[in-house]
């Protein structure tokens, strides 16, 4: 499944972020790491909650937005996934992992949307 492909990227992306206040970033990192751990156990709603907390603590945390995109996509919340990926890219436009996740998301979902429109 696609979400399994993305899980290793979540860990990699945790280290790729723009610095903010040390306390806020450390708290956000803790939430994000816990989100990864619960996502790996299949607890996607809890993971979403943790990554939402991470971006609330540190709105510049591109990796957490990317992780949210992966989780929203896994849960079928495609509009939220697109918004999260786009926010991650806005924060770190040169981040290859975020770009790959977003491009794959668009490819799969745009193709699915085109197929759905064709059948209607």
Q: What is the pLDDT of residue 112?
A: 67
CB 91 within 8 Å of CB 18:
yes
- In this structure, what CATH number is given to the domain that contains residue 76? 1.25.40.10
Q: What is the pLDDT of residue 4?
A: 44
User: Minimal CA–CA distance to 53: which of 76, 72, 77, 34?
Assistant: 34
The pTM of the full predicted model, rounded to 2 decimals, is 0.77
Q: What is the pLDDT of residue 110?
A: 81
Structural domain count of the chain: 1
Q: What is the pLDDT of residue 62?
A: 97
Q: What is the pLDDT of residue 12?
A: 42
pLDDT along the chain (120 residues), means of 10: 46 46 87 96 97 97 97 95 97 97 92 61
Structural domain range at position 76: 2-119
User: Minimal CA–CA distance to 40: which of 86, 9, 69?
Assistant: 9
Q: What is the pLDDT of residue 111?
A: 74
């Amino acid at each position: 499944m696609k979400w399994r492909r993305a899980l290793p990227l979540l860990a990699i992306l945790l280290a790729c972020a723009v610095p903010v206040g040390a306390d806020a970033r450390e708290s956000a990192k803790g939430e994000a790491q816990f989100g990864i751990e619960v996502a790996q156990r299949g607890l996607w709603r809890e993971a979403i909650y943790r990554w939402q907390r991470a971006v609330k603590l540190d709105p510049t945390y591109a990796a957490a937005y990317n992780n949210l995109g992966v989780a929203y996509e896994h849960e079928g919340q495609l509009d939220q996934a697109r918004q999260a990926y786009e926010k991650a890219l806005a924060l770190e436009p040169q981040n290859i992992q975020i770009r790959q996740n977003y491009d794959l998301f668009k490819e799969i979902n745009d193709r699915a949307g085109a197929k759905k429109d064709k059948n209607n």
